[in-house]
């Protein structure tokens, strides 16, 4: 009787210990399942409905630090050039979301076109009413947006 109880308790302790070890790893991957903030969704909806690059950037910069900044104009030109090279916008996919405290997060996206993909990184801030974009960057090179991927490329060689 004591051996059975000891075995069951030991097995239970091992299972709980494994759960504590692997739960942070599962939480990291869960970021891609979180919904996109409304401001980012609005920009993509505008683009899908033929609004063009200016319409999406206007939606994304509204109410945040990016509003009225010169950086938005540079991002618009970059996206216009990519749109010409890669074809029409098709869809987007949230790759990961990382919390940076209670009132900010970084969102990583892929933006799919007819002939290729562009990667985006949004620094979001929780304003009084909703999330706003504080900063955004785009690149056709994933390691430029997600630096940890640069190490992945080195392993492939």
| Segment 10-58, tens digit of pLDDT | 544 444 444 444 433 333 444 455 689 999 998 888 888 887 777 888 8
Residues 145 and 135 occupy one common structural domain: yes
Could you read off the pLDDT of 110-128 as tens digits, one per residue?
A: 999 999 999 999 999 999 8
Would you state the structure tokens that stand for residue 4, as one six-digit string?
A: 């059975």
Number of domains observed in the structure of the chain? 2
Full residue range of the structural domain in which residue 7 is found: 1-33
Residues 42 and 26 occupy one common structural domain: no
Residues 77 and 89 occupy one common structural domain: yes
What is the model's pTM?
0.71
Task: Tally the C-alpha atoms within 13 A of residue 3's C-alpha that lie toward its C-beta.
Answer: 0
Cβ(104)–Cβ(126) under 8 Å? Answer: yes
Residues 45 and 121 occupy one common structural domain: yes
């Amino acid at each position: 009787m004591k051996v059975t109880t000891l075995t069951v308790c030991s097995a239970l302790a091992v299972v709980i210990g494994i759960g504590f070890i692997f739960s942070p790893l599962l939480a990291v991957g869960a970021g891609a399942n979180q919904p996109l903030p409304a401001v980012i969704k609005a920009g993509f909806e505008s683009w899908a409905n033929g609004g063009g690059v200016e319409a999406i950037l206007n939606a994304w910069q509204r109410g945040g630090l990016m509003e009225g900044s010169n950086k938005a104009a540079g991002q618009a030109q970059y996206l216009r050039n990519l749109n010409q090279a890669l074809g029409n916008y098709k869809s987007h996919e949230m790759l990961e979301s990382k919390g940076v405290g209670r009132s900010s997060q970084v969102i990583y996206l892929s933006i799919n076109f007819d002939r290729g993909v562009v990667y985006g990184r949004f620094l979001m801030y929780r304003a009084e009413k909703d999330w706003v974009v504080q900063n955004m960057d785009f690149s056709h090179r994933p390691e430029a947006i997600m630096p940890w991927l640069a190490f992945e490329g080195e392993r492939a060689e």
